[in-house]
Amino acid sequence: MLVRLLGTAAGGGFPQWNCNCANCRGLRAGRLKARARTQSCVAVSADGERWFLLNASPDLRAQLEGFPPLWPPASCRRGTPIEAILLTDADLDHTLGLLLLRERSALTIYAPTGVQQALRQGLALPQLLAHYCSAKWRAPSEELAPLPTAEGQASGLLYQAIPLTGKPPRYLAEASAPVTPSPFRVGYYLTDVQTGGRLLFLPGLARREEQLQFYLQACDAILVDGTFWSEDELLEQGLVQATASSMGHLPIDGPQGSLAWLSSLSIPYRIYTHINNTNPILVEDSPQHATVCAAGLIIGWDGLELQL
The mean pLDDT value for 15-25 works out to 97
Each residue's pLDDT tens digit, 73-118 = 988 888 899 999 999 999 999 999 999 999 988 999 999 999 999 9
Confidence check: pLDDT of 180 > 70: no
Nearest to 120 by CA among 178, 204, 54: 178
Q: Give the pLDDT score at 203.
A: 97
Looking at 30-39, 140-149, 160-169, which range is the least confident one?
Answer: 160-169
pLDDT at 176 over 80: no
pLDDT, tens only, 212-222: 999 999 999 99
Phi, psi angles (nearest 5°) of residue 87: -95, 135
CB-based contacts of 155: which residues, under 8 Å, 6+ apart? 46, 47, 50, 52, 83, 146, 147, 148, 149
Question: Which pLDDT score is estimated for 182?
Answer: 64
pLDDT at 215: 95
Strand duo 82-86 + 51-54: pairing: parallel
pLDDT band at 178 (very low <50, low <70, confident <90, very high): low
Does the structure show a pLDDT above 70 at 169? yes
Q: Residues 247-273: what's their mean pLDDT?
A: 96
The CATH number of whichever domain residue 63 belongs to comes to: 3.60.15.10
CB 280 within 8 A of CB 22: no
Q: In the chain, pLDDT over 70 holds for what percent of residues?
A: 97
241 has a pLDDT exceeding 70: yes
- How large is the average pLDDT for residues 43-69? 98
Q: Has this prediction a pTM greater than 0.85?
A: yes
Contact 113, 182 (CB under 8 A): yes
The model's confidence at residue 129, banded by pLDDT at 50, 70 and 90, is: very high
User: Mean pLDDT over all residues of the chain?
Assistant: 95
| Contact between 10 and 277 (Cβ < 8 Å) | yes
Cα–Cα distances in Å, from 138 out to 100, 116, 209? 19, 9, 25
Please, where are the H alpha helices in 143-241? Answer: 170-173, 213-217, 233-236
Q: Are 220 and 182 in contact (CB under 8 A)?
A: no
The domain of 176 spans 2-307
Q: Which pLDDT score, from 0 to 100, does residue 252 have?
A: 98
End-to-end Cα separation, the chain, in angstroms: 5
- Which among 93, 275, 204, 13 is positioned nearest to 283, based on CA atoms? 275
Using CA atoms, how far apart are residues 140 and 87, in angstroms rounded to an integer? 9
Average pLDDT of span 62-80: 94
- Total number of domains constituting the chain: 1
215-142-83-41 Cα dihedral, nearest 10 degrees: -50
User: Are the CB atoms for 71 and 63 separated by under 8 Å?
Assistant: no
Range with the largest mean pLDDT of 72-81, 98-107, 242-251, 296-305: 296-305
Residue-level pLDDT at 202: 98
